[in-house]
Each structure stands twice: as C-alpha cells, then as structure tokens.
C-alpha cells in the first residue's frame, strides 16, 4: 500500500479508467471516476433494439488473463464475474475467389500459418517483458528493458506487417491479406504498421478468442461491479470541464483537482485522464507544447458500423467472419485518403451464433464493421447500401431479411466518446516511430497521468487494461 491514502480523480469511465480505478482502490486510495455519459464503459458499449443486442464497440475478447489479474487485485477473478466461452472456430475468412479459411481454436492447416504464428510468439515473448512492461518515454525506455541485442530483432520493428507476411506466405496473396489484418487491431495499415503486430496471431492461436455470455455488456458490467464493490465511486452524467493545477512552470506544476460542467470543484491529489490525450491538453488542461507532442502520433482508423436485425439464420457463418476486399492495397490507400473504400473488407460479429440471448429465436444480430479513416465524412444511407451490396457480392445477401439497421459513423464515435475523428483505438501503430511518439502515461504536470487507448501502450481492451497497470505502478512508485 502507498504511504498515504490519497484522493484520486479519474476523468472518464472507459475500460482504462475503470481498470486504473480498481487498482488504485486496491492500494487503499479514495478514487472517484467521473464519466460524462449516462453509462460507464466508454467504447465498450451495447445497443438494444426489438429483442436484439449488439456489441457496438469491442466484440472480440483476447488475453483474458489481463482482466483476471486486474480483478484479483481486489479479491475476485474473471471466472467469478463473467461466463467466458472460448470460441471454436475462432473466425471464418472468405474471399471472392471462393476460398474460405476456417481458423479453429487449434489453428488451421494453411501452408505458412504455423510459421507465422511461431514468429508471433517470439515477438510477443520479448514485447511482453519490454514494451508492455512499463512506461515508454522514447527508444531508451525500450532499450533498457532489452536483455540481449537479439531482443531488438526478435520484435521485428523494421519490416512492415505486410512485408513479413509476404516473406512467410510468398505468392499466396490471400494469406498475406489474412496476416495483414492484424494491423487493423490497432487501427493501422498492414503497409505501414510494423511486423511486430504479427504477435496478435500468436495470442489468438495460443490464448484463444473469447466471448462473455450475455455479450460484451457482461464484461462491462463486471468491471463496474468489481470497481464499486471495491469502493470506487463512479459518477455518470458528470462531465469534467477542466483540470486545475497550482501555478508554476514546467513539471513543478501540480494538479489539484477538477471542475465539473456544473461548476462543482473537486479536490484531488492526483488526476488520471482516461479521456483522449488531445481532449486533455486542448480542453481540460490546455498546454500547447504537450498538445503539439500528442499530435505527433497519428490517429488510429475509425469505423463505419451497421447493426442489422436479421430474419432467419445464415448457413455457414461463424460467430466472427471476415469477407476480404479484392485488392488490399487499394483499400488501404482509399482509407488513408479519407474515402469510403469501394470494396471494403467487412468484419461481422453474429453473437447469436453462440448466445441465443442476443437475438429473438430464428433471428440473427449482425454487427458489421468496415475500416475508415478517423474524421471520414460518410453518407450513412449510401455507406449502408454499399456494405450490404458488397456483402451480397460475396454470396451473403441480407437485404431481403432485414428488420432494421442502425448505423454508427466516425462523427457519432467522436460525439459519444470525445475521441478525435472517432478514432477507435486512439493512436495508430503506423510507422516505425509510432510506439515512441504515443503520448506518455506521465502527464505534463505533477500528479497527472494518462490511461487508455490514446496513450502508451495503445488501444484495444487488453492494452488499455495494461496501461492501467503501468499508471498504477507509476503512482505507487513515486508521485512526481
């Protein structure tokens, strides 16, 4: 336990905010989370309509041990809180060529698959004890955690993911495309993100793809329940308008509280911002230099989502399916230009395949996601029609079976979560510098910390939960 019990305010009740609140509470601090929306969870969100439930944020759970380790800090476990199912098959992948690859819980037999996954394991083993082990304030932070020179080459940071996939799969362009899709797990492009991201293939292969029965909302509810049971105060519908600090210069300035939108002043010894780093330094605690540094990091991609209540059931689909575009490079070029791809890769999660509580009997809950650039301006109706038409061109025509559709655009995501441009994962992993220019977990003032997708180590549920561990340790080992 820290020497003195402190008052900590967490700005934002996303998964990163809730996770850090749980950890700090476990150490005995008094922790209050202020969340501007009426429900906590941030991007981990649910839409219910006419007996259908859609996970409108994350739909795939990986690395459950990260949440288990978090819950254990307050005396419970993931298994005690959530009924997690290990999916098998994990995914079905489809191409217009007629090829289809099923990746089961024990993998698949495509030539090169096992080699790619084995390389991913090497990357992960080194990354876990270096990149993910603590804060990152530049290449030096990584360098000092390396045990041997080989660690650096093992994490494969210099090649792109696409290049490493081509080295393994050669002329099999479809499997190259399959491997490249792991870049999108951090909102990046396989043509720009480092080969390091290939470790996700290993994580899925060895640690599984999981689904919480009842939907991702069950995981969100578990985070909230565990936090509140431990004594965290979560206040929803409470927007933080500013973070206050003592006067001074440089890092001698110390945050001392927050002001809510209704002018309530809350004193705090430390403030952890789960809000996006741009919102933090532009609006909450304006700091031109810190903002300029934040803006060196590229935003991750955003997404266009179609939730469709569908009559009947679809033969051949799994819980997770992906229908690939014909030309991956053209697709990512169009995304980079801010355009809606004319032939998008379509990800679908139909959780009613596993969990009958998610749709009325004899129906399906289709969550369809297409990658688009952060800030892309879309015509909702045109984009919906295009997604459904492109899916039909793969032989899956939902159009005659639709009961309703609901859509989410990048501007909806921005408005809901204050994430600039509606970026799904905060910052992207595009380019060799990405890991080092991502905003730091230690803020511009004493007592200010950043947790969540826009800061180190990046977005995705397991990573934001890891960022909470890093911030907790920074706070525990020195309040600077």
Binding site for ligand FAD (CB under 6 A): 11-17, 34-37, 42-44, 57-60, 239-240, 274-275, 279, 284, 303, 305, 369, 413, 417-419, 424-426, 452-453, 459-461, 464
> In the complex, what is the shortest distance from the CB of residue 456 to ligand FAD, in angstroms, rounded to a whole number?
12
> In the complex, what is the shortest distance from the CB of residue 97 to ligand FAD, in angstroms, rounded to a whole number?
26
Using the 8-state DSSP alphabet, how is residue 386 labeled?
A: H
Q: Which residue, chain included where needed, has tokens 């288990």? A: 68
Closest to 151 measured CA to CA, from 190, 196, 85: 196
Closest to 443 measured CA to CA, from 321, 328, 271, 322: 271
Nearer to ligand FAD, 38 or 400 (CB): 38
Contacts of 62 (CB under 8 A, 6+ apart): 200, 203, 204, 207, 208, 209, 210, 460, 461, 462
* Longest CA–CA separation in the chain, Å: 65
CA distance 225 to 231: 10
Nearer to ligand FAD, 165 or 271 (CB): 271
Nearer to ligand FAD, 168 or 464 (CB): 464
CA distance 480 to 474: 9
Helices (H), 257-308: 277-279, 288-294
> In the complex, what is the shortest distance from the CB of residue 307 to ligand FAD, in angstroms, rounded to a whole number?
10
> In the complex, what is the shortest distance from the CB of residue 362 to ligand FAD, in angstroms, rounded to a whole number?
27
The alpha carbon of 364 is separated from its chain's Cα centroid by a whole number of angstroms, namely 25
Question: What number of CA atoms fall less than 13 Å from residue 88's CA on the CB side?
Answer: 11
Nearer to ligand FAD, 166 or 371 (CB): 371
Nearer to ligand FAD, 85 or 146 (CB): 85
Which tokens in the block code for residue 91?
């995914």
Pairing of strands 320-323, 402-408: unpaired
Nearer to ligand FAD, 76 or 274 (CB): 274
Q: Which residue, chain included where needed, has tokens 């967490």? A: 10
Nearer to ligand FAD, 43 or 445 (CB): 43
> In the complex, what is the shortest distance from the CB of residue 158 to ligand FAD, in angstroms, rounded to a whole number?
26
Nearer to ligand FAD, 359 or 369 (CB): 369
> In the complex, what is the shortest distance from the CB of residue 126 to ligand FAD, in angstroms, rounded to a whole number?
21
> In the complex, what is the shortest distance from the CB of residue 58 to ligand FAD, in angstroms, rounded to a whole number?
3
Closest to 391 measured CA to CA, from 308, 278, 464: 308
> In the complex, what is the shortest distance from the CB of residue 18 to ligand FAD, in angstroms, rounded to a whole number?
8
């Amino acid at each position: 336990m820290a020497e003195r019990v402190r008052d900590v305010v967490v700005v934002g009740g996303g998964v990163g905010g809730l996770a850090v609140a749980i950890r700090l509470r476990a150490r005995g601090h008094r922790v209050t989370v202020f969340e501007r929306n009426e429900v906590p969870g941030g991007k981990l969100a649910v839409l219910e309509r006419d007996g259908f439930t859609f996970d409108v944020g994350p739909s795939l759970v990986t690395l459950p041990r990260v949440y288990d380790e978090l819950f254990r800090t307050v005396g419970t476990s993931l298994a005690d809180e959530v009924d997690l199912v290990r999916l098998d098959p994990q995914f079905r992948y489809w191409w217009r060529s007629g090829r289809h690859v099923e990746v089961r819980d024990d993998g698949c037999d495509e030539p090169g698959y096992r080699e790619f996954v084995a390389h991913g394991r090497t990357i992960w083993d080194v990354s876990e004890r270096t990149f993910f082990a603590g804060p990152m304030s530049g290449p030096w932070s990584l360098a000092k955690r390396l045990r041997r020179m080989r660690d650096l080459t093992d994490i494969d940071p210099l090649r792109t993911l696409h290049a490493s996939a081509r080295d393994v799969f050669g002329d099999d362009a479809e499997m190259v495309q399959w491997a490249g899709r792991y870049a999108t797990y951090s909102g990046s492009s396989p043509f720009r993100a480092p080969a390091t991201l290939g470790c996700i293939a290993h994580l899925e292969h060895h640690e599984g793809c999981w689904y919480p029965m009842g939907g991702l909302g069950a995981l969100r509810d578990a985070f909230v329940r565990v936090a509140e049971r431990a004594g965290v105060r979560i206040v929803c519908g409470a927007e933080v308008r500013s973070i206050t600090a003592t006067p001074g210069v440089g890092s001698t300035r110390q945050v001392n509280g927050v002001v809510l939108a209704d002018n309530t002043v809350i004193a705090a010894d430390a403030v952890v911002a789960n809000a996006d780093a741009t919102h933090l330094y532009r609006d909450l605690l304006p700091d031109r230099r810190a903002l300029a540094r934040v803006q060196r990091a590229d935003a991750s991609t955003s997404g266009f989502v179609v939730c469709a209540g569908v009559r009947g059931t679809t033969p051949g689909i799994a819980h997770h399916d992906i229908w690939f575009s014909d030309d991956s490079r053209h697709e990512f070029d169009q995304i980079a230009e801010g355009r809606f791809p004319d032939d998008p890769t379509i990800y679908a999660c139909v959780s009613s395949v596993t969990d009958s509580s998610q749709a009325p009997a004899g129906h399906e809950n289709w969550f369809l996601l297409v990658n688009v650039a952060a800030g892309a301006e879309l015509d909702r109706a045109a984009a919906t029609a295009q997604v459904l038409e492109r899916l039909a061109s793969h032989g899956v025509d939902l159009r005659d079976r639709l009961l309703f559709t609901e859509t989410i655009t990048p501007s909806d995501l921005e408005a809901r979560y204050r994430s600039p441009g509606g970026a799904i994962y905060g910052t992207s992993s595009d380019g060799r510098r990405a890991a080092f220019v991502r905003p730091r977990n230690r803020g511009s003032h004493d007592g200010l910390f950043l947790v969540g997708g826009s800061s180190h180590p990046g977005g995705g549920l397991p990573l934001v939960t890891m960022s909470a561990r890093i911030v907790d340790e920074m706070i525990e080992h020195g309040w600077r």
